[in-house]
Structure 1
Amino acid sequence: MPRQGPLADLLVLDVTRVLAGPFAGMVLADLGAEVIKVERPDGGDDARTFGPFRNGVSAYFASVNRGKKGLTLDLQKPAGRDLFLRLAERADVVLENFRPGVMARLGLDYETLRQRNPGLIYAAVSGFGQAGPYAHRPAYDAVIQAMGGLMSLTGQEDGPPVRVGVSIGDIAAALCTVIGILAALHRRDTTGEGQMVDVAMLDCQLGILENAIARYFVSGQVPTRLGTRHPSITPFQAFDAADRAIVVAIGNDRLWETFCRAVGRDDLLADERFRTNDLRTRHHAELEPLMQALFRAHPADWWLAELERAGIPAGPINTIDRLATDPQVAAREMLQVVLDPAAGPMTMAGVPIKLSATPGAIAGPAPRLGEHTEEVLGRLLGLSGEALARLRNQGVV
C-alpha cells in the first residue's frame, strides 16, 4: 500500500537512537515520509533494551519508532559506509543525533554527503550543537533540563529542583528538528539546494523558557520555583477540592469578575488587593489561602461543572489511567492500538496534528532489528540476494 500523508514523497535516513532523533523521525513517519531506521547489526538502538517489555519488545522503543522501516548497517566497515553513501544519494533527509564529529570520523558528515547529493537536508540534533565550548560533551535529557534552567523553575517553592515528568529536553529538540527540516525542504523547493539543520537540546530549552528570560532581564530577579502557580497570572494554579486537586486558570480581570460572581464572593471582587491581575499576583500569598478554603468546600466534579457553566478555564489533574478513558482523548483519536507481530496490540499516543486534506497516520509498528534490510537495499540500490548474503556473512548488515 502506498504511503499516505503530506510527506509521502520523502525518503528519510534515520541514523538516531534513544529519544530526540527517533521522536523527530517518528513525527516525519506519522506525516507520511518513508523513514528508514539505520541501526548497527549487533543490538541496534539502545532503546530496544529499555522497559517495559511485552514478549521481549520494548514499549519505549516501539512508541517512538513506529511506522519506520528497519535496516542494519555497520557504518564502521567500508562496505557499510559505501552502502550508506549510496542511500544518501537517494535520500531527501539524513537525520542523526551523534555527538559532533562522529559522522565526520565515519566519513558521513554533511560536507561529504552534500558532494553526492546537493539537495540533501542533513539534520543533526545533539546536546549542545555543532559549535561552542560544550559541543563535544555528552548529554541526556536530565542534564539538559538542569543546564537549561528548567529544573531550577520546577518544583515546590520550598523544595529542591525537580525534573519535569517527561523528557522535555529531548522532545523540544525533536520538534524543533522537524520544524527545521520542513523549513529547509521548503527552501529547497525554490532553490534546489539542501542545507544542514543544526539543533541543540540546550538551545531548545532556552527557546521554551519564555517568560523566565523576560522576567530576569526586565526585573533583574532570578526566577525560582513556584509549585503550580504562574509567575505573572493569579489565580492560575492547582487547588485542593474536597476530594482531589483541580487546576483553575483565571487569565484576566474579566474572568476574575465572572468567577467571583459565579461563586458568590463579591467581597473578593471588592477587595482592593485583588482588583487587577498585577495586584492579585503581588498579593498572591494573601489570596491563595482564601481560594484554597473556598475550593475545599466541594468535591472536584462539583467545581468543574460549576466552573464550566461560568466559562472559567479549569480541569482535573488526570492520572494516566483517567486520561486513558477521557472522552475528549477518544474523540480526537489520541490513543491508538498498533498491532506488533511479536508483542501483539500496543497502545500508544496518536497523531496530534490533524490535517483536513492529507491527514497523518501511524503507518505500522516499529521494525524488528534489520527487518527491512533486504527489501530496502534491493529496492533502492538493486542489490541481489547473493550480494546481500555476502554482506550478512561479513557482518556489514
Structure 2
Amino acid sequence: MRWPYGRRDPVSSRPRPERNDMTDTSGSGGALDGIKVVEMGQLIAGPFCGQLLGDMGAEIVKLEPPETGDQMRHWGQGDKPSWWRVIARNKYSVAADLRSAEGQQLARDLIAKADILIENFRPGTLEKWNLDPAALRKANPGLIVVRVSGYGQTGPYSKRAGFGGIGEAMGGWRGIVGFPDLPPARMGVSIGDTLAATYGCLGALAALHHRDRTGEGQIVDSALYEAVLQVMESTVSDYSASGVKRRRTGSALPGIAPSNVYPCRDGEYLIGANQDGVFARLAAAMGRPELADDARYATHRARGARQEELDALIGDWTATMTIAELEATMIAAGVPAGRVYDAEDMVADPHFAAREALVTVADEELGEIRMQGVFPKLSATPGSVRRPAPLTVGQDSADVLKRWLGREA
C-alpha cells in the first residue's frame, strides 16, 4: 500500500555527537599503499572507481582538461556544491589536454609508471587519442586498464553513448522502481554509475592478484547495464523458470511480508519482520501473539499471499504511536526496524559517530566538510581520507611530474 508522506520528528534538538576527524595527510597507509593509478574519467563512474581505490591507499593522479577540468567540480546541490570534495578526495590533479599530441604523450609517460588506468569514455575514444590500451600494455605489461562504459567494449550497442540512467533502464532497475500506477521512477542517486564503478574496482583488485602471480596486467570491462543487471536478484531467473515479470510495487516487495514503511503519528518507520520467528516477535509486540499461529499469517507464503491485508493491519497499529515509541517497542522486541534517515539524521546519530561512518575533511574554500567515510573497514590496513580534493585544475602537475617522471612541469 502507499502511505501518504508526512513530516518526521525534527532531529535538530537531538544531542550531536563529538566530531570525528579521520583525515590523514601523511600520504601513506591503506591496503593499496604503493599502487599508482592514472584516472582519465569524468563525471561519476570513472572518478568513483578512482575514489574507491584512493580510499584504500592508492595514489590517484587525475588527468583533467586544462580549461574546464572535470565537470564534477560543479555538481552537487545547495549554494555550495560539494560532490567534488567527496569524489576527488585522495587525488592529485594534473592538467592534460588528451586531444593534443602533447597531452597524449604526457598521459603515456604517466601510464607507463602506473599500475592501473581508469577511463570511462565511449569505447573507441582512447584509441582515437592514440592511447590504445593494447599499445599501453605493450609498453607496460603489468598495466591494468579499467574501462567503464554504458554497454561494454564489445557488442552491437558498444559505440552508443550511455549514461547511468540508461544502464539502469536496460539493466532492469528503472522498470521496477516506483508505484504501479505511475511511470518508472529513479533513485535519488546515480546508482548505475556507482555500481559500474564498484565492479570496475572489484575487477581491478582481482586483476592485481592475478598480476602478483603472473606479472601480467589485463583489461577490466565494466558495463553500466551489466553492473545493474548483477544486482537484480532473480528477476531474469524467475522469468526464465516461471514466466513471471517483476513490476513496480511501490515500497513493498511482492511475497515478502511484512516488510514495508508504516505510518506513525509523526512520520514513517520501516519494519522488516518477514521471517517466521521475527514475525512472531512482532505479533507479540503488537499485543496479538495469536497472529503467529494464524494459518493466514503463520508461514512465509501465507503472509506473502495476504501482503496488503497484513500491511494494513500493522499500519493501523503503528499509526497509534510516535516514531520514538514504535522504535523503542521494536528494539525491545528484537524486530529489525528503523527510521528513514536523511543527511541531518546521519550527522546527529551516535552510531554513525561511533563507527566513524562520517568523516570531516578540511577544505580551504568551504571550511570543514562532513562526508561518508571509507568502507569497508579493514582491521589491519584501514583506508582513510589522506588529502582533500584538489581545488584547482592542474594544481599538482609539478609535484606529480617530478615524483613520477623525474622532470619539471
- CA-to-aligned-CA distance 1:77-115 (integer Å, 9 cap, x gap): 222211211111110000000000000011112101011
Q: Residue 219 of structure 1 aligns with which residue?
A: 242
Q: Residue 4 of structure 1 aligns with which residue?
A: 29
Q: Residue 179 of structure 2 aligns with which residue?
A: 156
- CA-to-aligned-CA distance 1:264-292 (integer Å, 9 cap, x gap): 11342243211201111011122221111
> How far apart, CA to CA, are the structure 1 residues paired with 2:106 and 2:342?
47
Matched, 1:263 2:286: yes
- One-letter amino acid of the structure 2 residue matched with residue 261 of structure 1: A
Where is the helix percentage greater, Structure 1 or Structure 2? Answer: 1
* Residue 372 (structure 1) shift: 0.5
- CA-to-aligned-CA distance 1:282-310 (integer Å, 9 cap, x gap): 11122221111111121111111111111
2:166 to 143, 147, 150: 143
1:365 to 383, 388, 391: 388
2:405 to 374, 381, 393: 381
Structure 1: runs of 5 or more not aligned: 389-397
Q: Residue 40 of structure 1 aligns with which residue?
A: 65
* SS across alignment from 2:93: strand
* Residue 2 (structure 1) shift: 4.1
Q: Residue 56 of structure 2 aligns with which residue?
A: 31
- CA-to-aligned-CA distance 1:222-272 (integer Å, 9 cap, x gap): 111111112232101111022211011013111111221232113422432
- CA-to-aligned-CA distance 1:89-144 (integer Å, 9 cap, x gap): 11000000000000001111210101100000011001111011111111222222
> How far apart, CA to CA, are the structure 2 residues paired with 1:360 and 1:374?
26
* SS across alignment from 2:141: coil
* SS across alignment from 2:112: helix
- One-letter amino acid of the structure 1 residue matched with residue 201 of structure 2: V
> How far apart, CA to CA, are the structure 1 residues paired with 2:213 and 2:29?
24
Matched, 1:323 2:346: yes
* Residue 15 (structure 1) shift: 0.4
| Equivalent residues of 1:11, 1:92 under 8 A apart | yes
Greater CA drift, 67-76 or 45-54: 45-54
> How far apart, CA to CA, are the structure 1 residues paired with 2:191 and 2:77?
20
* SS across alignment from 1:280: helix
1:163-242 correspondence runs (5 A): 163-242=186-265
* Residue 218 (structure 1) shift: 2.6
> How far apart, CA to CA, are the structure 1 residues paired with 2:182 and 2:100?
51
| Equivalent residues of 1:94, 1:122 under 8 A apart | yes
* SS across alignment from 1:354: coil
- One-letter amino acid of the structure 2 residue matched with residue 300 of structure 1: I
1:14-93 correspondence runs (5 A): 14-52=39-77, 58-93=81-116
Greater CA drift, 193-202 or 2-11: 2-11
| Equivalent residues of 2:27, 2:386 under 8 A apart | no
Aligned-CA RMSD value: 1.5
1:293 to 285, 300, 316: 316
> How far apart, CA to CA, are the structure 2 residues paired with 1:18 and 1:326?
30
Give the TM-score, by structure 2 length.
Answer: 0.90
Q: Residue 394 of structure 1 aligns with which residue?
A: none
For this pair of structures, how many residues does the alignment match? 383
The structure whose RCO (Cα within 8 Å, separation 6+) is larger is: 2
* Residue 340 (structure 1) shift: 1.7
| Equivalent residues of 1:37, 1:68 under 8 A apart | yes
| Equivalent residues of 2:166, 2:225 under 8 A apart | no
| Equivalent residues of 1:66, 1:364 under 8 A apart | yes
> How far apart, CA to CA, are the structure 1 residues paired with 2:229 and 2:282?
35
- One-letter amino acid of the structure 2 residue matched with residue 134 of structure 1: Y
- One-letter amino acid of the structure 2 residue matched with residue 28 of structure 1: L
> How far apart, CA to CA, are the structure 2 residues paired with 1:349 and 1:14?
21
* Residue 53 (structure 1) shift: 6.9
| Equivalent residues of 2:89, 2:389 under 8 A apart | yes
* Residue 343 (structure 1) shift: 2.7
| Equivalent residues of 1:89, 1:117 under 8 A apart | yes
> How far apart, CA to CA, are the structure 1 residues paired with 2:384 and 2:224?
27
| Equivalent residues of 1:142, 1:169 under 8 A apart | yes
Structure 2: runs of 5 or more not aligned: 1-25
- CA-to-aligned-CA distance 1:302-333 (integer Å, 9 cap, x gap): 11111111111000111221122111111111
Greater CA drift, 342-351 or 353-362: 342-351
1:13 to 25, 30, 38: 38
Same amino acid, percent of matched pairs: 38
- One-letter amino acid of the structure 2 residue matched with residue 370 of structure 1: G
| Equivalent residues of 2:260, 2:311 under 8 A apart | no
- One-letter amino acid of the structure 2 residue matched with residue 326 of structure 1: D
* Residue 383 (structure 1) shift: 1.8
- One-letter amino acid of the structure 2 residue matched with residue 91 of structure 1: A
* Residue 207 (structure 1) shift: 0.4
- CA-to-aligned-CA distance 1:14-50 (integer Å, 9 cap, x gap): 0011011111101111111000000111111111222
Greater CA drift, 330-339 or 263-272: 263-272
Cα distance change on mapping 1:122 and 1:218 into 2, 3 Å: same
> How far apart, CA to CA, are the structure 2 residues paired with 1:79 and 1:286?
68
| Equivalent residues of 1:16, 1:98 under 8 A apart | yes
> How far apart, CA to CA, are the structure 2 residues paired with 1:252 and 1:41?
56
> How far apart, CA to CA, are the structure 2 residues paired with 1:166 and 1:81?
33
